[in-house]
Amino acid sequence: MPRITIDLPERFTFATDIPLLILHINLGGHLDNAMLLTLVAESRVRYWEHLGYTAFDMEGVGSIVADAALEYRSEAHHGETMVIEQATRDYHKYGFDIVWRMSDRATGREVARGKTGILCFNTQTRKVALLPDKLRERLQAVPALRS
């Protein structure tokens, strides 16, 4: 099977800093693979909050993760501060992708990059929902900002 490669956008529309705590580190002394996705999930929550949304209410729909892919670029260690940048793309009838990059704040060293598929979700019917036009417009219009 070929290795996963993630193409990054020319610009990201959101970035946030997250320090690496000891609980993020595995026995090998570097960022644990499961904790990487936890950090990306935290950055996604911050992105929604920055836009005035929650994962459960974005223009009347919730969001769920449909898929995720990631590519490691280097190790990360306890005490480093990660900057996680995000942008949305590949919009479709029911959702979109968030493309992200994680780098060390101090050195700029890229640690990982990835893509998370987001589906809109009706929390009452527990079914996939259509992507609201207003949400799509808002995500596409977001200028490059920092949290």
Q: How many domains does the chain have?
A: 1
- Measured between its terminal Cα atoms, the distance across the chain in Å is 38
> Per the structure block, which two tokens stand in for 20?
């690496």
The predicted pLDDT at position 145 comes to: 53
The predicted pLDDT at position 144 comes to: 55
Q: Residue 87 belongs to what domain range?
A: 14-141
Answer whether residue 6 is part of any domain. no
> Per the structure block, which two tokens stand in for 137?
């417009």
Give the pLDDT confidence of 40-95 residue by residue, as tens digits. 999 999 999 999 999 999 999 999 999 999 999 999 999 999 999 999 999 999 99
Count of C-beta atoms within a 10 Å radius of residue 44: 21
Answer whether residue 4 is part of any domain. no
Answer whether residue 82 is part of any domain. yes
For residue 29, pLDDT beyond 90: yes
> Per the structure block, which two tokens stand in for 54?
């929650």
Give yes or no for a contact between 32 and 78, defined as CB atoms under 8 angstroms apart.
no
Q: What is the CATH number of the domain that holds 44?
A: 3.10.129.10
Answer whether residue 2 is part of any domain. no
Answer whether residue 37 is part of any domain. yes
Average pLDDT, the chain: 94
Answer whether residue 7 is part of any domain. no
27 by Cβ neighbours in 10 Å (0-12 / 13-18 / 19+) ranks as exposed
Answer whether residue 5 is part of any domain. no
Beta strands in 7-109 (DSSP E): 14-19, 62-72, 81-92, 95-104
